[in-house]
Structures are given as C-alpha cells and as structure tokens.
Amino acid sequence: IPPVPTILDKNGRFNPRGMGILIDRLLASDIDGFLFLGSAGEFAQLPAATRKEVAEFCVQRVAGRRPVIIGTASCSTEEVIELSQHARDIGADAVMVVNPYYSKLTDQRIYDHYRHIADAAGLPVLLYNFPALTGQDLSIELVLRLAQDCPNIVGIKDTVDCMSHIRRLILEVKAARPDFLVFCGFDEYMLDTLLLGGDGVIPATANFAPHVTCGIYKAFAEG
C-alpha cells in the first residue's frame, strides 16, 4: 500500500492533473490499496481545507477500484475527528492517525486521544507510529490496550528503525487480537515483517517501483 505523495504545482497548490496521473499509474500496478495524506502526502504542511480537497479528489479518482486510507492526523483531537468523519462521508475505507507531536504526552493521554477518535470516526482506524518525527513512541502496552478496547482500531503502521518493536507488536498484540494488522513503514523491513507473521508494508518505493514491493509480497504469499 503506497503512501502516495500529494502532487503540488510550482506555487505549492494542489495539482489534480498530476495527482490523477500518479493514481492512474498505480491503479495499473498490483498494489493492494492507497494511503493518501500520510507523511509523504505532507498532511502536516497542508491546511484542513486543502486536505479535504485532496481526500475528495483521490477517493473519487480511485472510484472503489482499491481500498483507500486517508491520513487524518492532527495535534487536535477535535480536528482529527472532523477530518475522519469527512473521510467517512466521502467514501474512504479507513483512516490512519499518527499520535500528537510537539507536546510530550503520557500513555493515558495518548490513549484518550485515540479512544475519542475511534468512538467518533465511524470507520476503521489505523494507528501510525513514527517516533523519529513525533518524538514519542507508541508503546507495545498502549497499542495492546487500544487494540483490546477499540474494535475499530484495526491495525498499525510501525515506522521504526528497530525490527524488535515490530516483532513485539506481532507476538504480543496479534496474539491477543489475531485480526489486528501490523504493517511496517520502512521498506527494508517488509520481508522480515512478513516472515514474522505481520501483514504487509506501506512503502514509499511502491510509488515508483511497485513491481518490486508487489513482487516480493506475491512471492512470499506463494511460498
């Protein structure tokens, strides 16, 4: 599932034509779905109105041909809920939410943030762990608690340069909730994640070389 870049024009405005070209190219490949407005989609640099415009265009362009995940993260719980409900209303299949950045929060406060979102979003939610950028790791214990308490928190993208963290998610969280999805975020951990019992990868390289990541996944699936 590639984390698709948001295509902008030379003035920094959303470029629907360029975005459409990239989406159509990916639809012609073997990818399993799309993630829009993740880190590569520059969600943190775009105003909410633009994020909604991008989400609407992308969902319409994909037109149900593959599942679509929309990144709806914000430091504001209220804004995450607003963007997540918008994603639901335009027909997205799920949302992905990185934890609040800038402020250091206790696990309880991060739990409350995600719990409010899960209760209000109205569609499946993927956690997004990227401590190198947020400054704060989602602990295994926190992820396990959210997975057990919130049925519509369905998985996690774990962008960590540490295979042991992904391994613990698979061995401890999936053991308690087998349907919980574990995706790695760094491309080079794709095969290791699959071998350990994880579910896949959200790799930037799939935007320009989908035959490589899709080929690895297919070869693994076929034994």
Catalytic residues: 39, 102, 128, 157
33 closest CA partner among 10, 57, 67? 67
* Residue 172 DSSP class: I
Tokens, residue 52: 């909604």
Q: What single DSSP character describes residue 183?
A: E
Rounded Cα distance, 64 and 11, in Å: 31
Query: Helix, strand, coil shares of the chain as percentages rounded to 5?
Result: 50, 15, 35
d(Cα 190, Cα 206) in Å, to the nearest integer?
A: 12
- Tell me if 147 sits within 8 A of 172, measured CB to CB: no
Tokens (6 digits) for 147: 């997975």
Q: Is 13 helix (H, G, I), strand (E, B) or coil?
A: coil
Q: Is 173 helix (H, G, I), strand (E, B) or coil?
A: helix
Amino acid sitting at position 2: P
